Amino acid sequence: MNKGNLFRFNGAGSMNMVAFMSNTRTYAIIGGTAGIGLALARKLTARSDHVLIGGRSPDRLESTLAALGSSASGRTVDMTDRSSTHAFFADAPELSGLFTPAASYQTGAFRDGARETSEDLFDAKFWSQYWAVHAALPRLAADASVVLMSGAASIRPIGAPAYAACNSALEGLARGLALELSPIRVNCLSPGTTDSDLWRDRPAEIREPAYAYWRELCLVRRPATVEEQAHAALFLLDNTNMTGNTLFCDGGYTLR
């Protein structure tokens, strides 16, 4: 990696330039202030890599960067806004990898015909990751690794057909990008139900029945942890012989 500049977040939306060493690898994580993205950021910084974090909330981003220390920088970004995504990467250093777990969406039945559970879902989860990779492309090293995130409903849907289709589309996107962008590697992480902030912030009367149902559906009889999902994402970032693949970290859900 050539010597360049990194940026340290300092307050809501502002960035300060700081130098970084030529042997430091930098990974971008859009959605790195919580859940799987944050767990991956912790793993990367623990091994002395640098992380460039993107998140929607300035307050949450600032607290995340403070907790991660000098190995982290970042700025606010809205992945559903292409101009915001381009601005996120505009002055980034060379990137050894990109992970895109950020998405906020609703699911619902096909018969409902609701835009927010169909077209808006694709905008939030599929097109946001599609255009994030496109925006990052000029910053990706020749041997960089991209990890998209889908979900195990791609193989085994339980209602919400648009959600299943969206996850399948992301896995197909990983295969297509792996062919076109080679030698950049592109893979997809497909998690099952995970005990993350997303679920913990929901009322217990919603969360606990969902967890109980998941225990019946998967082989390991429990939801995954964010650390397990982050470990799977790290494997895809690091393994230089993996490209065009989908890794199902779903506790055997897709086998039942």
Angstrom distance (rounded) from CA 56 to CA 79: 9
CATH assignment at residue 121: 3.40.50.720
pTM of the prediction? 0.90
Does pLDDT of 22 surpass 70? no
What is the span of the domain harbouring residue 149? Answer: 5-255
> In this predicted model, what pLDDT tens digit does every residue of 79-135 receive, in sequence order?
999 999 999 999 999 999 999 998 788 889 999 999 999 999 999 999 999 999 999
Lowest mean pLDDT among 32-36, 146-150, 187-191, 201-205: 201-205
Q: Give backbone dihedrals phi and psi of 52, rounded to 5 degrees, phi first.
A: -105, 110
Strand positions, DSSP E, 172-254: 185-191, 194-195, 224-225, 246-249
User: Cβ contacts of residue 135 below 8 Å, gap of 6+?
Assistant: 82, 85, 86, 88, 89
Does pLDDT of 8 surpass 60? no
User: Cβ contacts of residue 238 below 8 Å, gap of 6+?
Assistant: 145
Q: How many domains does the chain have?
A: 1
Strand positions, DSSP E, 31-133: 50-55, 72-76, 95-99
